Structure 1
Amino acid sequence: MANALWNTRTISYLGCAAQVFFLFLFVSAEFSLLTVMAYDHYIAICRPLHYGTLLGSRVCVKMAAAGWATGLLYALSHTVNTFSIPLCYGKVLDPFFCEIPQILKHSCSDSYLREVWIIVVTACLMFVCFIFIVLSYMQVFRAVLRIPSEQGQHKVFSMCLPHIAVVSLFVCTAFFAHLKPPSISFPALDLVLAGLYAMVAPAVNPIIYSMRNKELKDALRKVIS
């Protein structure tokens, strides 16, 4: 944003490292919180009578703190690992922010093993969270099918489908951005993918959840009419 406002396309070494750190901090924390929200939906729908005991305020604070702590450690390890390799001067980063796959392309040494390590850690972390989300929603949809009224089923789907949409957009674009083969790596494609998982998914997240709020929907209808 600063580069756009001041019409400059350069960034310092520390600025690039800060971008990598905060990108991975917020992206990993976002995915951790999406995983926690899937667990929240599972408890609310499959075990509603135990919701107060299983998801009290203390538990919610602990899960949110665990998500941010995981994101902090994850971002710190990625940043230190990436910027401990020598980088060549005079290179150009095509995307609009410093992204690890783009930085590793400009390494002056063989960064193959470091890249493999980054891919393995990222894939394992996201895979564990993704499997947990999938298992949670398998239980949720089994419970939905046992709801006799269509109104009850519609209420559950309206609560879960926006979350599934955000998770799908986030996971698919992030996985493809970091795990796609180099043969299909193009500057324009890399830019679109980076924008989707880094900006669009987090921006859409509060919007679609706010649309479940009755007061907000009524106020929006008044503004439109």
Structure 2
Amino acid sequence: MEYTGKLTDKNITFIKEFILLGFSELHNFQRVLFVIILVIYICILLGNGLIIVITNVERALQTPMYYFLGNFSFVEICYTSVTLPRMLKNLWNQKRHISLLSCAVQLCFFLILVVTESFLLAVMAYDRYIAICKPLYYPLIMNHKMCVQMVIGSWVTGIPVIIVQTYQVFSVPFCGSNKLDHFFCDMPPLMKLACGDTFRTEFFIFVDCFLFALIPFLLILFSYTRILQTILKLPSITGRSKAFSTCSSHLTVVCLFYGSGFIAYFQSLSSSSLGTDKIISLFYMIVTPMVNPLIYSLRNKDFIVTMRKLFSTYI
């Protein structure tokens, strides 16, 4: 649905809905992609759902570290559920239209969840920092009230800014082509369809990236710098190995999340091809949430023992 208006004395077709192209160029593989992505989505739901259940029912895992992990897994489920169901629908029925309002809602929820995940990763790094660098103060600092406040803070901190950011993005007129060369509504491909002066909007996008991505990443980097300094001072090799093992899973997830996210956004905002951007976005959208439960379960001895005990009890 489109209508014709005037902008700077020229007739321009203003966009009222987008067409999500996704991987429409792969005409013969739509059903195959549907099956692959459906299987991945089910794995994400089952894997992260299992972590949530285990961290809530097993008393041995009801510690701050696993409390944060359970919340992180819940965010992962929400994060993928914002985009993947519509993507699966588009692959199945080939109807790729999405209204401006639906696109704005999808973008807003997606960004809120990305920001929440970014802050939760910083909170989990801080938890490991206190546990390793200040172990005597750990029970006092990381009490239940503090943990709940940190999780709530991770959820709500970015909401007002993200709502304003989404409003700014959709306040810019979209004209010309309504074909969004992506599989969900994301800021970089949307800005490529915007007309008029987009400098102010793009400036605030970079500011938000700095506040909600770079600053948490720097806090994580600072935490692990101090952790590494403390670990290297430990007298025994066994102590060093144990300390490293408690951080390795989280550090791996941090590298996957921030590595793929930074590459996707900074490459998208450059003049690079969106074809590459879609593949990178797909990686951090579905591959990372799928492998996170495997990373935590396979690299954590306490988790493996608990899973074996639960499965032997109920199966």
TM-score, with structure 1 as normaliser: 0.88
Q: Does 1:188 align with 2:258?
A: no
> 1:150, CA displacement in angstroms?
2.4
Number of residues of Structure 1 aligned to a counterpart in Structure 2: 221
Find the aligned partners of 2:192 and 2:203 in 1 and give their Cα distance: 13
Does residue 46 of structure 1 match 2:139? no
User: TM-score if structure 2 supplies the norm length?
Assistant: 0.65
| Unmatched 5+ stretches in structure 2 | 1-84
Q: Which residue of 1 aligns with 2:171?
A: 84
Specify the alignment match of 1:215 in structure 2.
305
Q: RMSD over aligned Cα, in angstroms?
A: 2.2
SS in structure 2 at match of 1:11 = strand
Q: Is the 8 A contact 1:162 1:208 kept in 2?
A: yes
Deviation at 1:39, TM superposition (A): 0.3
1:114-168 alpha-carbon deviations (Å, 9 max, x no partner): 1122112212332211111111111111111122332222222222122112112
Equivalent of residue 14 in structure 1, options 79, 101, 118: 101
Distance 2:297 2:217 in 1: 24
Q: CA deviation at 1:48?
A: 1.1
- In structure 2, how many angstroms separate the alpha carbons of the residues matched to 1:142 and 1:45? 10
Secondary structure of the corresponding residue to residue 164 of structure 1: helix
Identity %: 37
In structure 2, what is the Cα distance between the partners aligned to 1:206 and 1:81?
Answer: 36
User: Which structure's CA Rg is the greater one?
Assistant: 2
1:166 maps to which of 238, 253, 272: 253
After TM superposition, the structure 1 stretch with the greater mean CA deviation from structure 2, 24-33 or 209-218, is 209-218
Matches within 5 A, 1:50-129: 50-88=137-175, 90-129=177-216
Q: In 1, Cα distance between the equivalents of 2:274 and 2:285?
A: 16
- Tell me by how many angstroms 1:112 deviates: 2.3
Q: 1:143 aligns with which of 200, 225, 230?
A: 230
SS at match of 2:118: helix
- For residue 69 of structure 1, report the CA deviation from its aligned partner: 0.5
Matched with 1:130 is 217
CA distance in 2, matches of 1:139, 1:108: 47
Following TM superposition, by how much is the alpha carbon of 1:196 offset from its aligned partner in structure 2, in angstroms? 2.5
Q: Distance in 1 between matches of 2:92 and 2:144?
A: 41
Check the 8 A contact 1:26/1:71 in 2, yes or no: no
Gap runs ≥5 in structure 1: none
Q: Following TM superposition, where does structure 1 have runs of at least 4 consecutive aligned residues deviating by more than 4 angstroms?
A: 216-222
